[in-house]
Every structure is written in C-alpha cells, then in structure tokens.
Amino acid sequence: MIGYYILIGAIALVSWLVSSKLKSKFDEYSHVHLRNGLSGAEIAQQMLNDHGIYDVRVISTPGQLTDHYNPTDKTVNLSESVYNQRNASAAAVSAHECGHAVQHATAYNMLQLRSQLVPIVNVSSTLSQWLIFGGLILGAASGFVFGFYIAVIGLVLMAIATAFGFITLPVEYDASNRALAWLKNKNMLSQQEYAGAEDALKWAARTYVVAAIGALASLLYWALQVFGGSREE
C-alpha cells in the first residue's frame, strides 16, 4: 500500500507541475494581443461558419480553463477569460473547442468512440477501486476465490477508464491540429500570435498525456496486487 501512495504522489506531483506550466503559458500568451481585434467568441463563431457549422452555439461559462464542447446540446462553452478576451490564449482555446465541434460534424471516429464510452466510464471510474479493495480484503480475510474474481471485475472496470484516457489523446491532439490549421490557413494570427497559440495548445495536450500515463500506472499497480496476491496463495 505504501508503494501505491508513492505512485499516486509522484503522479500528482507531475500533474501539478504540468498544470502549473499550462497556467503560466496561458497567462503569458494572454498578454499577446491579437492584431485582428477579435474576441475568443468571435473567433469561435468564424471558425464554425468557415466549416459550414450553423447549428452550434458559442456561449460563455463561468470559471477558468472550464472551456469545453458539449456534443449533447451542440454548444461551444468558453470560459469568461476566453469568451471576451482578444489574445493568443483566447484564440487557441476557442479554436480548439471548435475543433471538437468540427470532429462532431464530420463524425470523427475517435470522438464517437469516446462519446460512447462516457456513460460506462462514469460508472467504472467510481466502482473500480471499491471492487478491487473489497476483493482484496475479502480474499485476504477468508481466502475465498470469490474475492479474487471481485477484484478482477474491478480491474476490468479500471482498464476501461484507462482506455478512455488514451482514446482521449488523439481526440484532443486532432482538435488542436484542426484549430492550428484553420488559424494558419485563414491567416487569423501573426507569426508571434500563432507561435503562442501553438505552444499553449501543446501544454494543454500534455495534461491529458500525464493523466493517461497516471491511469495506466495505477492499473498496472493494482493488477500486480491482484494477480501477485493470487499466486502467493
């Protein structure tokens, strides 16, 4: 168990470092004001229009770094600092979220797969560790093979959540690539502004990479506990 806490601590530290770097990058590029004078909301609307998407609304949402695309109600939700601002960070985020809208409109297969897994992951991420803990405790206390199978079910659920994290990676990278391609092809940003937007999106993507690696490390740790313990018995 001590090894697990060390693992979680190391993952949390790396995640914090990447998140801190991301926030500093967005703060840095929020001071790079756009020559075209467009706000994040205006950039988002123009990107949607250029892709022939007219059934998606661009709305403002409270908070910081709370930006997301909701495929259920077809809304691009931009945080207040992105929706109203006219800088490289706002341009990067708004175009990225519209990249998800373009994925949805073009039936991008990885986005479809990710969306199909959301209901399952909502359940599996909550139950997996409880089942693993319960199975290991039951097996240790009574020696029942039943406990082992409960733990294995928990591992399967954890594996689904882990797979979800890795499926998210191409979805996020593809959205960023679509955003940057549009910004460049439409000459929306100057060279300095584009470089800032590109760097900001790279750091945003790295947060998903860290999360996926962390989930995989946790899965492997618990797999060793479950199957290692069963062999010792």
Indicate if 80 belongs to the active site. no
pLDDT at position 227:
87
**Among candidate residues 230, 114, 232, 93, the one with its CA nearest the CA of residue 175:** 93
Tens of pLDDT, residues 106-141 = 999 999 999 999 999 998 888 998 899 888 888 777
Read off the pTM: 0.88
Of 42, 80, 97, 232, the active-site residue reads 97
Is there a contact between 149 and 135 (Cβ–Cβ < 8 Å)?
yes
16 class by beta-carbon count within 10 Å (0-12 exposed, 13-18 middle, 19+ buried): exposed
DSSP 181: H
User: Lowest-pLDDT range, 16-20, 144-148, 208-212?
Assistant: 144-148
